[in-house]
Amino acid sequence: MSQLLKGSTIKILVLAAVMFTYGFSSGYFKIFPFQIIDNIHTAVIKIINPAKKSQNSKKEQSVKIQKNKNYRTHYYLGRLSTFKQSTISADYIIIGDSIVDSAEWHELLVGVSIVNRGIAGDTTFGVLRRINNSLSKKPKKLFLMVGINDIEWGYDIEQSIENYKKIIAIIKQSKIQATIFSVIYPGKSQQEIYLKKFKGDLQKRVQLFNQLLEKECVKEGINYVDVNSTFIKDGFLNDEFSYDGLHLNGVAYSKFAEILKNNL
């Protein structure tokens, strides 16, 4: 009898050890049935403490926004460091992302005193951090184009527009004139990439972004210029003006320079 009890005890202990090991592995490595248990836990939490769900949701949103704000690359930091050390002054400054960064504006606008403050890969978060540096140079006018990276990387449009509102407020406080350019619709290839990545319509996001941006500029008395009438064909960036469906080529920059001349 004692031998039988001893054998049963060993079996129970082995079974308990196996169950514990599997349970621990399920939670640590998130294998079956982790998702089922997690869903049940989440459902119970919603019933017992609905406020916790709201707090978690706000926390997740805050983390997302903070992550976007902290977006920096070595190139960004290098360019920003150069800008901060520069003592040059100019009548005009143009600030933005790679579309601004890639052009030799002083060559495109011969005889015009203009400084390039574009940084490839920049977003509204980055421009908001560094707009004061450009304004401190006291130009006659500031040109600004940024936003396509926010849109393509899936950032929340409302948050990006909030960034723009803050940027506009800083510009107005400086009493320096400004012209803000619309985001250019990408080409078909970019639309296809976005569709695969986010299952969404990139062109519609650009359209919404521009509509909200224009509305804000009109509200605040900032000159807004929609450049898409120059570069777009059938709703997409014309292949004639781009080498990758996103960035502009030399032909496009010649036309962009004309737009700038008309807004000096």
Give the pLDDT confidence of 163-192 residue by residue, as tens digits.
Answer: 999 999 999 999 999 999 999 999 999 988
Domain boundary, last residue among 69, 91, 111: 69
Residue 44 pLDDT more than 60?
no
Matching residue, tokens 């360019």 = 79
Q: Are residues 207 and 250 in the same domain?
A: yes
Q: Are residues 63 and 103 in the same domain?
A: no
Q: For residues 166 and 44, which has the higher predicted lDDT (pLDDT)?
A: 166
Q: CATH code at 242?
A: 3.40.50.1110
- Give the count of beta carbons closer than 10 Å to the beta carbon of residue 192: 12
Q: Say what the pLDDT of residue 200 is.
A: 87
Number of domains in the chain: 2
What average pLDDT does the segment 58-71 reach? Answer: 47
pTM of this structure? 0.74
Residue 252 CA to residue 44 CA, distance in Å, equals 58
Domain enclosing residue 39, as ranges:
2-69
Query: Buried (b) or exposed (e) across 224-239, using 16+ Cβ within 10 A?
Result: bbebbeebbeeebbee
- Give the count of beta carbons closer than 10 Å to the beta carbon of residue 105: 21
Q: Say what the pLDDT of residue 106 is.
A: 94
Residue 28 pLDDT more than 60?
no
What average pLDDT does the segment 22-43 reach? Answer: 49
Q: Say what the pLDDT of residue 45 is.
A: 42
Q: Are residues 100 and 208 in the same domain?
A: yes
Domain boundary, last residue among 45, 69, 93: 69
Q: Are residues 133 and 59 in the same domain?
A: no
Please report which helix (H) or strand (E) contains residue 98, including its range.
helix 98-101
Q: Say what the pLDDT of residue 158 is.
A: 95
Q: Are residues 159 and 49 in the same domain?
A: no
Q: Are residues 181 and 214 in the same domain?
A: yes
Q: Say what the pLDDT of residue 188 is.
A: 92
Q: Are residues 45 and 155 in the same domain?
A: no
Q: Are residues 118 and 91 in the same domain?
A: yes
Indicate if the alpha-carbon torsion angle 237, 106, 224, 99 is positive or negative. positive
Residue 65 CA to residue 125 CA, distance in Å, equals 9
What average pLDDT does the segment 36-62 reach? Answer: 47
Q: Are residues 57 and 124 in the same domain?
A: no
Domain boundary, last residue among 21, 48, 69: 69
* pLDDT one-digit tens code per residue, 73-120: 888 889 989 999 998 889 999 999 999 999 999 999 999 999 999 999
- Give the count of beta carbons closer than 10 Å to the beta carbon of residue 119: 25
Q: Are residues 151 and 248 in the same domain?
A: yes
Q: Are residues 86 and 200 in the same domain?
A: yes
Lookup: tokens for 249: 């080529």
Q: Are residues 36 and 134 in the same domain?
A: no
